Amino acid sequence: MIKQPHILLIYTGGTIGMVKDIDTGALKAFDFNSLLTKIPELRLLDCSIETISFEEPIDSSNMCPKYWGDIATIIGDNYLDFDGFVVLHGSDTMSYTASALSFMLENLAKPVILTGSQLPIGDLRTDAKENLITSIQMASLQIEGKPVIREVGLYFEYKLYRGNRTTKINAEHFEAFESLNYPHLAESGVHLKVNKEHLWKPKPNKKLILRTRMDTHIGVLKLFPGISRPICEAILTSKLIKGLIIETYGSGNATTEAWFVKLLADAITNGLHIVNVTQCAGGRVNMGQYETSSQLKLIGVISGSDITTEAAIAKLMYLLGENIPRNNFKTIFETSLRGEMS
Ligand code: ASP
């Protein structure tokens, strides 16, 4: 007899877990222990579900590496007992968490699906039920007793994406996420359609390793016309910073002003890891394509290729946390570790 998939639902907070108080009309946290009573549809799913909740659910604006570590640890502690994991999370920083978890869960070979909603689960027009139910179905998909999804995914509004490829692009639409540089992994229509060729294939028979050390001595500098020298200087000469993402124009271009290039070159000589990520939502960094990026290549700026800023932040924290030696850092950053870049 084929065993029903066993799914662990991890509730961290966010809009999805809210219901309206009938008396006051105010939104309040939903008691996840009574999930099955409140959403009877879950009983129709062909899987068994257990739930675990953050003691104090949070708005995802308060998400941080400590909580990422808590989620990764819950998954690690329960890894052998469950076939899949669904993480309920506020949508605002869900792409950051999905990216961070992808690095923290080395050799992951089971589904970890993040989802949330734009409207609370208790709202009449909520998107929460579909997102929750289909995420559980995605996490339950198996072929010959083996999970189909073996990576960190993000499910929202009928699409499953690779989590570390996503960005929240809309604060109001139900279709709140995009993955412009990588095709979606699955789609929910009348049937669940999985794009098998795009799924992550983990190395076989490797043990899950938790990598929860994240070094937060990093920064993001978004370039804009008129960016001032003293402000760049303050950031690039700070003794606190170990890694910096520069969000450049187009295919990785920046001003060719001599002071700017020299500041970057000196910072790199002094040990700062500088990563070039484009401000464009889609496309990739290609240093050397234009004169305005040739210098960056020459001085040793790391190419972020088509990585999102969210994934670059998580990857930088992760590699710094792992104390990757300086001479390997650029090569490792420029290598796709969890399918986060092409
Ligand atoms: N502010 C909420 C959060 O990210 C929004 C949401 O849940 O979608 O926690």
Do both 106 and 236 map to the same domain?
no
Protein residue closest via CA to atom 3 of ligand 1: 90
| Whole-model pTM over 0.85 | yes
Query: Beta strand pairing status for 167-168 and 177-178?
Result: antiparallel
Q: 174: domain range?
A: 6-210
Tell me, in angstroms, the distance from the centre of ligand 1 to residue 92's CA: 5
The CATH number assigned to the domain holding 147 equals 3.40.50.1170
Rounded CA-CA distance 341/203 in Å is 18
Residue 133 within any structural domain of the chain: yes
Q: Can you tell me the distance from the alpha carbon of 266 to that of 2, in angstroms, rounded to the nearest whole number?
A: 61
> Are 315 and 337 a contacting pair, CB within 8 Å?
yes
Q: Using the atom order of ligand 1, give the atom closest to the CA of residue 176.
A: 8
Nearest CA to ligand 1 atom 7: 90
Task: Mark which of 187, 210, 233 sits at the end of a domain.
Answer: 210
Length of the chain measured in residues? 342
Q: CB neighbours (10 Å) of residue 43?
A: 9
Look at ligand 1, atom 6, and give the residue with the nearest C-alpha.
Answer: 90
Do 174 and 204 lie in one domain? The reply is yes
Q: How far apart are CA 323 and CA 325, in angstroms?
A: 6
Average pLDDT over residues 186-206: 96
Helix axes 326-333, 309-321, angle to 10 degrees: 150
Average pLDDT in the 43-65 region?
Answer: 93
Q: What's the gap in Å between 5 CA and the centre of ligand 1?
A: 29
Distance CA 254, CA 306 (A): 17
Does residue 341 lie within any of the structural domains? no
Question: pLDDT at residue 203 above 90?
Answer: yes
Q: What is the mean pLDDT of the chain?
A: 94
Q: Which ligand 1 atom is at minimum distance from the Cα of 92?
A: 4
Asked, for residue 342, whether it belongs to a domain, the answer is no
Final residue before a domain boundary, out of 210, 232, 253:
210
Confidence band of 1 (pLDDT split at 50, 70, 90): low
Indicate the Cα dihedral angle 337, 288, 313, 186, nearest 10°: -50
Q: How remote is the CA of residue 62 from the centroid of ligand 1, in Å?
A: 10
The whole-angstrom separation of Cα 332 and Cα 6 is 36
Q: How many domains does the chain have?
A: 2
Mean pLDDT of 320-328: 97
Contact 171, 177 (CB under 8 A): no
Whether the per-residue pLDDT at 13 is higher than 80: the answer is: yes
pLDDT of residue 40: 84
* Mutational pocket test of ligand 1: of 27, 59, 94, the residue with most ligand atoms within 8 Å of the beta carbon: 59
In a domain, 338, yes or no: no
Instruction: Please tell me the distance from the alpha carbon of residue 314 to that of residue 211, in angstroms, as a whole number.
Output: 12
32 located within any domain: yes
Give the catalytic positions in this structure.
Answer: 15
Domain check: are 141 and 242 in the same one?
no
Residue ranges lining ligand 1, Cβ < 6 Å: 13-15, 59-61, 90-92, 116, 118
**Same structural domain, 174 and 241:** no
Residue 183's contacts (CB-CB under 8 Å, 6 or more residues apart) are: 195, 198
More confident residue, 32 or 108: 108
Per the structure block, which two tokens stand in for 226? 């008129």
What is the per-residue pLDDT for 290? 87
- Asked if 145 and 59 sit in the same domain, the reply is yes
CATH number (domain holding residue 307): 3.40.50.40
- Domain boundary among the residues 158, 186, 210 is at 210
Task: Supply 91's token pair.
Answer: 């949508």
- Is residue 340 domain-resident? no
Q: Are residues 154 and 185 in the same domain?
A: yes
Same domain, 151 and 268: no
Residue 15 CA, closest ligand 1 atom number: 7
Residue 28: pLDDT band (50, 70, 90) is: confident
Q: Do 52 and 186 sit in the same domain of this protein? A: yes
- Please report where in the chains the tokens 């960016």 appear, as a residue: 227
**Residue ID of nearest Cα to ligand 1 atom 8:** 91
Q: Is residue 128 part of a domain?
A: yes
Paired residues of 112 in beta bridges: 85, 152
Locus of tokens 């983990």: 202
Q: Give the Cα separation of 133 and 45 in Å (integer).
A: 8
CA angle, 192 then 11 then 133, to 5°: 20
User: What is the CA(317)–ligand 1 centre distance, in A?
Assistant: 23
Residue 241, token pair as written in the block = 């910073």
Among protein residues, the one with the nearest Cα to ligand 1's atom 4 is 90
Asked if 33 and 146 sit in the same domain, the reply is yes
Q: How far is the CA of 273 from the centre of ligand 1 (A)?
A: 32
Answer yes or no: do 182 and 236 share one domain.
no
SS3 call for 188 = strand
The minimum-distance atom of ligand 1 relative to the CA of 58 is 9
Domain match, 59 and 163 both: yes
The region, left, alpha or beta by phi > 0 then psi within -120 to 50, assigned to residue 316 is: alpha
* Any domain includes 263: yes
How far is Cα 319 from Cα 333, in angstroms, rounded to an integer?
Answer: 8
Q: Per-residue confidence at 17, pLDDT binned at 50, 70, 90?
A: confident
Residues 6+ apart with CB under 8 A from 203: 107
Instruction: Note whether 130 and 163 are same-domain residues.
Output: yes
Give the best-scoring range by mean pLDDT among 29-38, 120-129, 146-155. 146-155
Give residue 257's region: left, alpha or beta (phi > 0; psi -120 to 50): beta
